[in-house]
Amino acid sequence: MNVYFIKDQDFNSFVAKMMESKKVVGPVTKKSKFVFAALEAPEQLRLDYDVTILPPKKEFFPTCQSLMKFQGNHCEGCINPEEKIILGVHFYDVKAIDMTDLLFREKNEDWNYLANREAATIIASNIQNVSSRAFFASVGKEVTPKGHDAFLTKLKSGYLFETLTAKGENLVKFGKFESASDGQKQEARSVNDVPLKKCAEALKHSSKEIAGKVRKSFANESFWNEAAKDCFSCGSCNIVCPTCYCFDVQDDWNLDQASGMRTRYWDGCLTEDFACISLGAGAVENFREHRGERFRHRIMRKAAYLNEKLGGPACVGCGRCSSACTPNIADPVNVINKLMEA
Amino acid sequence: MTCNCCSSNDTNDTKIFDSKNLFLPKETKIVKVIQSTQLERHFTLRLADGGKMKFYPGQILEVSLHGYGEIPIGLASSPTRENTFDIVIRSTGRVSTAINQLKEGDSLFIRGPLGHGFDLPVLRNNNILIVAGGIGLCPTRSLIQYIMDRRSEFKRFSLFYGSRDPSQQMFLDDLSNWRGSADVEFHETVDKGDATWKGNVGVITTLFKKANIAPDTKVIICGPPVMFKFVIKELDSVGISHKNIFVDLERRMKCGLGKCGHCQINDKYVCVDGPVFTYSDIENLEEAL
Amino acid sequence: MGKAKVAFFDFTSCEGCQIELTNYGDAAFLELLNHIEIVEFREAMSERAPSFDIAFIEGSFTREADRERLEDIRKRAAVVIAYGACAATGGVNALKNHQPDYKEAVYGKDAGQPHLDSSKALPISAAIKVDYKVYGCPMDKYELLRIVSHLLHGKTPVIPNYPVCVECKRREVVCRYDDNDHCMGQVARAGCGAICTADGIPCEACRGFVDHPNEEALVKVLKERAGFTDSRAQSKSRMFTANLRSDAK
């Protein structure tokens, strides 16, 4: 599509105009951290954020989402997409959205996700500040982000706005855009190279080498038990992960005790009962009973299990799990580099 | 290859539910309930809208009751039978206990059929052995009925059925038919007999010496996890290739659509890649058996 | 369905959970009254019922003399629910269990008065069979509503066995540790919706531990991430989970 330039002084009015047309979600501050939230004013937007607590996946796959409501024997679906623009998504999160797009679409299309996804316009943006735990420069380099509709790059005196789809092009009417010059395009390229050199952490091997070795380490129980020694099975690493998409489903009645709701909630494979089935009379069978097994399952899932399907690892190097883990054991870089040297 | 019973392809692409919302269940009516054992009830269901559900032996349903939730249950009857289909529910948790309170005429909700069932084209024109332990007889009954209904399409057909004790035996009418049938070589055993039991006593593998199983037999195994290893050991001694062994696995299949992650074993989702797996495909998958 | 007969009882506690019951203050409680009938509730009425469908018991079992009363409740009730931290786990009362001199420490020269005599603070389940537990200090009134709703339908209530971190992260709360604070959400049973951490207060595990808490890792994290001394880190989880710790007396 096309490449445009918008001056700094015109940017907020561009955002304001978009907000008049539909809901605009972007990074805003929450105490010392950032979160994606519906903008109330363009000034709230913090495109200089490093990483958000939760990934933008929540806009299509809410942390708790009604799947079905019932009244006696009658039931109906709850798919009710809202048109929105998600502004300021970093490239690693776009890669993750590409993955959940594929996973929710493959084999059985899950329109509870896909309808929300299709109603969204995604404007990616360059990474102005790199989170201290990020390693996006060294993971899954063979996978390129493709699910965004436009890409915004902060230049010295304004923003480069590259449209990639009709949805993205459709936004141009909201701002005072001009065609970008070759110099501005060149400046954007170098701006986008910068964060790739600023990751404090890095994997030292290719995705393929890692997948092979990680997969082979399955039976290395002492490694996994040692790695998971301080694991709380708290699921924080799962919940903050942009490529995790597991969920639990629960039913509840409304106060009238006749109508109610079936709801899905984000779940985590690190939690104790995740793979547990009831056998009756209080007996259970837990297919991943020990914390080392659950810890291993997550690393396997990120580094090996889904690679064939996704064309690369199911990890984008955002570093959210590393910062969310209070005993600091979830960091895939530490686990994988250690495993590769073992 | 076209399936004669439902005139569709032998693929798992027939879904009765709303393709725009796979989480929306469909109403069925309970036609008949039989108290199978103390814990298990055998339900015959019919779609409330009068339609016929297309499915394959070995496929599963997500069975639900509004407010209580959903559970994965293997279909226990063959698509070659009437417009109804059977499931057996064992009272183990919230949903199953609630379902087992229902009576004829009540509504029950389903999503499905889901998953990969028995590969009928692979099984046809072959010797078949089904080894079913405990409630493992429920999902395999869909195939047993299928074979019995299309007997000429299969060669020798043997069935081993093991129960903990005589009171745990299910489908008593079927058992008495099979005992006298020339269409199936039926062998049964109980781990522990009682005063009335005249048959074989011992674990299911003790039945192997009663039936001379040929090495080119296709074998289907379904039962408690502990049973698989012992049965496969017997099959190895007969010389049956792992490509000819099919196992029906149980996991926490919460969504049945390959999404929620609860039933994942390595890179496989039991609910979509299974529940029926070729043993050679999963024998090296840790956590599978 | 007919109305379920419900009775409320209290033992050693601050009665805060009962106050929480009166805090519904909205349509929720009135709606609930369409489905339940309160037949015994010392705080609000003087009647006594011969039997009831659900007995809600608040407070911990701290005196042998209470056993008889508890057994009587058990006999009259189809379902017994221990509600609130004291009843479910012994709660904050169990803090005294590891401290033989607690009376002197609290009451000083009055420590010898006979009405202060009590034995260990234990959950109600130490005296009688308890069918379900509603955790929390105080219990969450909406969770109680959900549990009652499930019981009205004969469904075993769903009580999470995952930690507060799951709910905290789902709400996208800034981790207490990232705010230079401490927290026990990693080992605490969820179900509260992470109300405290969302308000910027550390989780004190008032709902007790998950089934298998990693106590050693908790001590380590409290020391390394929150700067606790060893003894403070070791004793930190006693406040609400003294009876659930591996060193429970």
Would an 8 Å CB–CB cutoff place C162 in contact with chain B?
Answer: no
d(CA A122, CA C168) in angstroms, rounded, equals 27
Spans of all domains in chain A? 3-197, 207-341
d(CA C126, CA C60) in angstroms, rounded, equals 9
Q: Which pLDDT value is given to residue B20?
A: 86
pTM of the model: 0.92
Task: Pick out chain A residues at pLDDT < 50.
Answer: none
Determine whether domain B120-248 maps to CATH 3.40.50.80.
yes
The residues with which C188 forms a beta bridge, in sequence order, are C209
How sure is the predictor about C1, in pLDDT bands with cuts at 50, 70 and 90?
low
Name the residue among B20, B93, B261 with its Cβ closest to that of A278: B93
Q: Which pLDDT value is given to residue B3?
A: 40
For residue A219, the chain B residues in CB contact (below 8 A) are: 286
Would an 8 Å CB–CB cutoff place C174 in contact with chain A?
Answer: yes
Would an 8 Å CB–CB cutoff place A68 in contact with chain B?
Answer: yes
For residue C155, the chain B residues in CB contact (below 8 A) are: 67-68, 94, 98
Give the closest residue to A330 by CA, choosing from A133, A60, A106.
A133
d(CA C244, CA C249) in angstroms, rounded, equals 10
- The pairing of beta strand C36-41 with beta strand C4-10: parallel
3-state secondary structure of A269: coil
Q: Which pLDDT value is given to residue B8?
A: 42
Q: Which pLDDT value is given to residue B16?
A: 55
- Can you tell me the ipTM of this complex? 0.95
How sure is the predictor about C29, in pLDDT bands with cuts at 50, 70 and 90?
confident
Listed range (B1-5, C14-18, C39-43, C58-62) with the worst mean pLDDT: B1-5
For residue A265, the chain C residues in CB contact (below 8 A) are: 170
How sure is the predictor about B14, in pLDDT bands with cuts at 50, 70 and 90?
very low
For residue B22, the chain A residues in CB contact (below 8 A) are: 108-111
How sure is the predictor about C44, in pLDDT bands with cuts at 50, 70 and 90?
confident
How far, rounded to the nearest angstrom, does the alpha carbon of residue B18 sit from its chain's CA centroid?
A: 25
Q: Which pLDDT value is given to residue A236?
A: 97
* C119 against B30, higher pLDDT: B30
How sure is the predictor about B224, in pLDDT bands with cuts at 50, 70 and 90?
confident
How sure is the predictor about B133, in pLDDT bands with cuts at 50, 70 and 90?
very high
Torsion from C-alpha of B178, B183, B187, B188, nearest 10 degrees:
-20
Give the closest residue to C82 by CA, choosing from C29, C32, C127.
C127
Do the Cβ atoms of A69 and A261 come closer than 8 Å?
yes
Spans of all domains in chain B? 2-114, 120-248
Q: Which pLDDT value is given to residue B183?
A: 95
Do the Cβ atoms of A14 and A176 come closer than 8 Å?
yes
User: Mean pLDDT, to the nearest integer, of C218-241?
Assistant: 96
For residue B264, the chain A residues in CB contact (below 8 A) are: 269, 297, 301, 305
For residue B68, the chain C residues in CB contact (below 8 A) are: 153, 155
Compute chain B's Rg from CA coordinates.
Answer: 18
Please check the confidence at residue C83 and state whether its pLDDT lies above 60: yes
Torsions phi, psi for C36 (to 5 deg):
-130, 160
3-state secondary structure of A296: helix
What lies within 8 Å, CB to CB, of C88 at 6+ separation is: C82, C123, C124, C133, C134, C135, C208
Q: Do C175 and A324 touch (CB under 8 A)?
A: yes
Q: Which pLDDT value is given to residue C54?
A: 94
User: Mean pLDDT, to the nearest integer, of B17-40?
Assistant: 90
Give the closest residue to C84 by CA, choosing from C59, C67, C121, C53.
C59
The residues with which B158 forms a beta bridge, in sequence order, are B129, B185
- Name the CATH architecture for the domain at C4-152: 3-Layer(aba) Sandwich (3.40)
Q: Which amino acid is at C4?
A: A
Q: Do C217 and A232 touch (CB under 8 A)?
A: yes
Q: Which pLDDT value is given to residue A167?
A: 97
3-state secondary structure of C12: strand
Long-range contact pairs involving B30-38 (C-beta distance under 8 Å, separation at least 24): B30/B102, B30/B103, B30/B104, B30/B105, B30/B106, B30/B107, B30/B108, B31/B84, B31/B104, B32/B104, B33/B102, B33/B103, B33/B104, B36/B88, B36/B170, B36/B171, B37/B167, B37/B168, B37/B169, B37/B170, B38/B167
Q: Which pLDDT value is given to residue B17?
A: 61
Chain B residue closest to C152 (CA)? B67
User: Using one digit for the tens of pLDDT, what is the confidence trace for B113-130?
Assistant: 999 999 999 999 999 999
- The pairing of beta strand A247-253 with beta strand A259-266: antiparallel
Distance from CA of B102 to the nearest CA of C (A): 13
* C53 against C47, higher pLDDT: C53
User: Mean pLDDT, to the nearest integer, of B21-25?
Assistant: 93
User: Mean pLDDT, to the nearest integer, of B226-239?
Assistant: 93
Would an 8 Å CB–CB cutoff place A32 in contact with chain B?
Answer: no
Please check the confidence at residue C85 and state whether its pLDDT lies above 80: yes
Q: Which two tokens stand for residue A92?
A: 């690693």
Q: Which fold does the domain B2-114 belong to in CATH?
A: Elongation Factor Tu (Ef-tu); domain 3 (2.40.30)
What is the per-residue DSSP string for A109-155? --HHHHHHHHTEEEEEE--SS--TT--TTTS-TT------SEEEEE-
What lies within 8 Å, CB to CB, of A75 at 6+ separation is: A68, A69, B24, B25, B66, B109
d(CA B97, CA B107) in angstroms, rounded, equals 15
Please check the confidence at residue B10 and state whether its pLDDT lies above 50: no
Domain ranges in chain C with CATH number 3.40.50.700: 4-152
3-state secondary structure of C159: coil
Q: Which pLDDT value is given to residue B287?
A: 75
Mean pLDDT of chain C: 92
Q: Do B94 and C153 touch (CB under 8 A)?
A: no
How sure is the predictor about C116, in pLDDT bands with cuts at 50, 70 and 90?
confident
Q: Which pLDDT value is given to residue C31?
A: 80
* C60 against B6, higher pLDDT: C60
Would an 8 Å CB–CB cutoff place C154 in contact with chain B?
Answer: yes
H/E segment holding residue A88:
strand A84-89
Distance from CA of B96 to the nearest CA of C (A): 10
User: Mean pLDDT, to the nearest integer, of C18-42?
Assistant: 81
